[in-house]
């Protein structure tokens, strides 16, 4: 009978040394082994991929015979244990953790490697990382005799990490990566962390203000209250969701999407996740529509003519020569006051205005081609009097009026 190798494991709950047996080498079925080989190769390229580690652990647990622990992994375990037992400072424990981490990369299914790694990380003050390692230990050894005790200790580490992260976030509220980290940490806690009363107070105030808002400008107070609630309890799914909806209503689309993504991060498998993801798609569509609308020329305002055919033009009658107004539906209307006095109320189409000019007995079609400056302060334009239609020419001839040669002039307008 082959003797089982043993690895020294330092308990996270005391000074006792525990001996945990490793798995003996056994024959593998071809298909699971191929999947394991592929996953191991992928993990070497992305060692921080926790989801891939979980996949490997579950794959090994489903195999009839567990794979043998490599000599390389055993060497890292021995080195880490030696460093751990002689460590006196957090830096010493970090060096031990580095060796155990190498062991988890060489044998990602090895439960005791994660246990030892978590122990070293905790001693080094890395509570969040320690919690992650102990979670993988419980996944790799679901029937371990100390599973209940480790789970209780894991929850304590998660609570400590959560408190520290929330404190950090309150100092740097714009740290979106930390915010997501908090959400994912809380999502892995059983039971979920309790909601502080202060967070609930801000949330109720936010929903009240949200319900009373009648237009986008009314939503700033509600959004501020949602933000306050999420600064106290950043992991709260409902608050992230409702904050996202308030931001959408306020047409702050990027922020709305970020809030809904945090809601999804809390529980991507929830029944409401499909609706939340679809809501993100809707917001992206609205954002694209708003961006396209924003790219259209906006000529609203009153404009003075300051140059005519390249020359300065400061005549009093050219003050307010063009007035453009926009309806709530986005339609732009203009009124042109020139010399002789002309008044119109026609629509702007893109950056072009075409209208009929009546100057005394003369009638012709005039077209303005306008270019709005990037800062919106000036308009450069060209003014073309288009050739008269045969009907216009005939009407003028009947009245004995000689046709006026069409003008082709350039001008610059400045916003009042």
| 60: CATH | 1.25.40.10
Indicate if 106 and 31 belong to the same structural domain.
yes
The residues facing 302 across adjacent strands are 323
Indicate if 384 and 247 belong to the same structural domain.
no
> How far, in Å, CA of 408 to CA of 386, rounded?
9
pLDDT at position 108 is: 97
Main-chain phi, psi angles of 335, to 5 degrees: -130, 130
* Ramachandran category for residue 336: left, alpha or beta (phi over 0 → left; psi -120 to 50 → alpha): beta
pLDDT at position 30 is: 59
Report the CATH number that the domain containing residue 402 is assigned in CATH. 2.40.128
Q: Which residues contact 112 (CB under 8 A, 6 or more apart)?
A: 7, 9, 20, 22, 77, 137
Burial of 255 (0-12, 13-18, 19+ CB in 10 A): middle
pTM over 0.85: no
Stretch among 220-224, 227-231, 381-385 having the lowest mean pLDDT: 381-385
Indicate if 282 and 314 belong to the same structural domain.
no
Number of domains in the chain: 3
DSSP code at position 322: E
Write out the two tokens for 145: 């005799």
- Position 6 confidence tier, pLDDT thresholds 50, 70, 90: very low
Q: What average pLDDT does range 360-376 have in this prediction? A: 70
Q: Would you say residue 186 lies in a domain? A: no
Q: What average pLDDT does range 16-39 have in this prediction? A: 60
Is the model's pLDDT at 117 over the cut of 60? yes
| Chain mean position to CA 268 | 15
Q: Would you say residue 258 lies in a domain? A: yes
Indicate if 305 and 285 belong to the same structural domain.
no
Stretch among 57-71, 82-96, 152-166, 325-339 having the lowest mean pLDDT: 325-339
pLDDT at position 25 is: 44
- 15 or 281: which leads in pLDDT: 281
Domain extent at residue 379:
301-415
| Opening angle at CA 10, ends 111 and 1, nearest 5 | 60
Burial of 398 (0-12, 13-18, 19+ CB in 10 A): exposed
Q: Which residues contact 251 (CB under 8 A, 6 or more apart)?
A: 216, 286, 290
Q: Would you say residue 187 lies in a domain? A: no
The residues facing 150 across adjacent strands are none
Identify the domain boundary among 271, 294, 317.
294
- Position 381 confidence tier, pLDDT thresholds 50, 70, 90: confident
Indicate if 137 and 153 belong to the same structural domain.
yes
Indicate if 316 and 227 belong to the same structural domain.
no
Q: Would you say residue 183 lies in a domain? A: no
Q: How many residues does the chain have?
A: 416
Of the chain, the percentage scoring pLDDT greater than 90 comes to 59
pLDDT at position 70 is: 93
- 321 or 402: which leads in pLDDT: 321
Whether 352 contacts 382, CB under 8 Å: no
Q: Would you say residue 179 lies in a domain? A: no
Indicate if 318 and 410 belong to the same structural domain.
yes
Stretch among 72-81, 231-240, 337-346 having the lowest mean pLDDT: 337-346
Q: Would you say residue 401 lies in a domain? A: yes
Write out the two tokens for 263: 């809601």
| Chain mean position to CA 353 | 41
Q: Over the chain, what is the mean pLDDT? A: 84
Is the model's pLDDT at 219 over the cut of 60? yes
Q: What is the pLDDT of residues 257-268, one digit of tens each?
A: 999 999 999 888
């Amino acid at each position: 009978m082959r003797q089982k190798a043993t690895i020294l494991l330092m308990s996270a709950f005391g000074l006792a040394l525990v001996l945990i047996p490793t798995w003996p080498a056994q024959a593998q079925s071809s298909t699971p082994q191929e999947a394991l080989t592929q996953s191991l190769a992928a993990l070497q390229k992305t060692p921080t991929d926790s989801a891939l580690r979980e996949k490997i652990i579950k794959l090994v647990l489903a195999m009839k015979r567990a794979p043998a622990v490599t000599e390389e992994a055993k060497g890292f375990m021995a080195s880490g244990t030696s460093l751990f037992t002689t460590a006196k400072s957090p830096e010493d424990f970090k060096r031990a953790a580095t060796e155990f981490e190498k062991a988890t990369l060489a044998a990602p299914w090895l439960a005791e490697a994660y246990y030892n790694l978590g122990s070293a990380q905790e001693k080094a003050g890395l509570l969040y990382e320690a919690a992650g390692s102990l979670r993988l230990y419980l996944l790799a050894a679901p029937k371990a005799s100390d599973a209940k005790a480790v789970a209780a200790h894991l929850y304590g580490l998660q609570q400590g990490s959560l408190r520290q992260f929330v404190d950090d976030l309150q100092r740097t509220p714009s740290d979106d990566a930390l915010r997501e980290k908090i959400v994912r940490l809380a999502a892995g806690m059983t039971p979920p962390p309790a909601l502080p009363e202060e967070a609930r107070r801000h949330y109720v105030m936010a929903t009240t203000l949200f319900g009373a808002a009648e237009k986008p400008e009314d939503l700033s107070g509600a959004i501020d209250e949602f933000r306050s609630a999420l600064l106290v309890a950043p992991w709260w799914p409902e608050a992230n969701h409702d904050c996202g909806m308030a931001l959408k209503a306020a047409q702050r689309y990027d922020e709305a999407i970020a809030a809904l993504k945090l809601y999804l991060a809390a529980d991507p498998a929830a029944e409401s996740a499909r609706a939340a993801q679809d809501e993100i798609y809707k917001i992206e569509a609205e954002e694209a529509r708003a961006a396209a609308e924003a790219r259209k020329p906006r000529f609203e305002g009153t404009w003075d003519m300051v140059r005519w055919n390249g020359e300065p033009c400061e005549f009093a009658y050219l003050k307010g020569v063009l007035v453009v107004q926009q309806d709530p539906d986005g339609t732009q209307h203009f009124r042109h006051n020139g010399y002789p006095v002309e008044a119109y109320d026609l629509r702007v189409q893109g950056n072009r205005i075409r209208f009929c000019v009546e100057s005394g007995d003369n009638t012709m079609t005039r077209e303005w081609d306008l270019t709005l400056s990037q800062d919106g302060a000036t308009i450069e334009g060209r003014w073309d009097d288009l050739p008269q239609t045969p009907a216009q020419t005939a009407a003028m001839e009947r009245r004995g009026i000689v046709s006026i040669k069409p003008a082709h002039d350039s001008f610059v307008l400045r916003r009042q």
